[in-house]
Amino acid sequence: MFYDEIKQYSWDDTTRAIASKTARDVEIALGKEHPDIDDFMALVSPVGAAYIEPMAQLSHRYTLERFGKTISLYIPMYVSNACTNQCVYCGFNHNNPLKRVTLTMEQVKAECEAIRRLGPFENLLIVSGEFPSLNGVNYLEEVLHVARPYFNNLTIEVMPMKTQDYYRLTQSGLNGVVCFQETYNETNYKKYHPRGMKSIYEWRVNGFDRMGMAGVHKIGMGVLIGLEDWRTDVTMMARHLRYLRKNYWKTRYSINFPRMCPAEGGYQPSVVMSDRELAQLTFAFRIFDHDVDISYSTREKPAFRANMMKLGVTSMSAGSRTEPGGYVSTPDALEQFEVSDSRTPLQVANEIRDLGYEAVWKDWDKIFD
């Protein structure tokens, strides 16, 4: 399991290694067809920022080779904000005094129909808080059965599960799983996740192995930018991605690195990443892994998403509502995070076409089931 693997890497030693990278290290990394972890550290290092233009050109080249002029579009559907965790940065924190909503199957059906009216989406991301007795495996299986007639590609972003539970859901129409490790800094992990199942670092980080063993078709990974030193965190994620590719090579992978915003309860991010730094990170990951799907959510502003579209990003959310029932009505349930790109899906698709790219609404077909 990856927990045993990651224990051999010191957080502090990794931080120092990144800081020690030189201009020559960056140039060597840019000259390699298949960079290793040491090269990745050079690309995301402070010195690497000076090479952002050649990094952008190389990222653009690899993206065109692997993905062509396409941007895959997906939309999230929040089905429950009930959560037993007390993550200090999340609006769904168990201690926050907000209205808790878990959609019924009739409400899920209505949400699916409302989403279909927004655009020809086939990629649906089902999102839920972590409250096993309310939105656990049985509930999610029902949601998948309701959503399947409307969408060809179903992904979940929910609580980490046992291998047999992931396998069970793949038999009920599940195509992919997204899970954010949040941070790979085990020493400080408990500070951000003081209570709930999410507070168990080993259970969460090994969840990706359980997905792989269950034969999940696509696994999405991510860290939250705003908790710890982002360069060290993403280097740990790069190590994790390389490990997963080696051990579960039939699975496809995607990555996301959302920049955090202030949350309900007064949380303020301790690390702020600039647009230029996010671009550097995006280019570094594309150069490190030519085939990984790099996703930007509606957390990012429209202009920045448009600029990055040709340079490494391959999928985007559009038309997102981040509260349960948000597509049918305007409920009074709290959003998980604030959306920065509030354009309609068709407006996003039109911009993609105006930039000379094709908006792809699906990447999976019922014929493959």
Identify the CATH number of the domain in which residue 102 sits. 3.20.20.70
Asked if residue 118 belongs to a domain, the reply is yes
Asked if residue 326 belongs to a domain, the reply is yes
Q: Are 55 and 280 in contact (CB under 8 A)?
A: yes
Asked if residue 11 belongs to a domain, the reply is no
Asked if residue 202 belongs to a domain, the reply is yes
Whole-prediction pTM:
0.94
* pLDDT value for 364: 54
* Number of domains into which the chain is organized: 1
Quote the domain boundaries for residue 230.
Answer: 54-368
* pLDDT value for 299: 86
Asked if residue 34 belongs to a domain, the reply is no
Angstrom distances, CA of residue 253 to CA of 93, 134, 260, 313 = 28, 29, 22, 14
Q: What whole-number distance in Å separates Cα of residue 316 and Cα of residue 296?
A: 5
Asked if residue 43 belongs to a domain, the reply is no
Asked if residue 310 belongs to a domain, the reply is yes
* pLDDT value for 336: 47
Share of the chain above pLDDT 90, in %: 84
Q: Which residues of the chain have pLDDT under 50?
A: 264, 333-334, 336, 367-368
What sign for the dihedral angle of Cα 291, 311, 76, 220? positive
* pLDDT value for 266: 66
Asked if residue 44 belongs to a domain, the reply is no
* pLDDT value for 99: 83
Token pair for 147: 């959503």
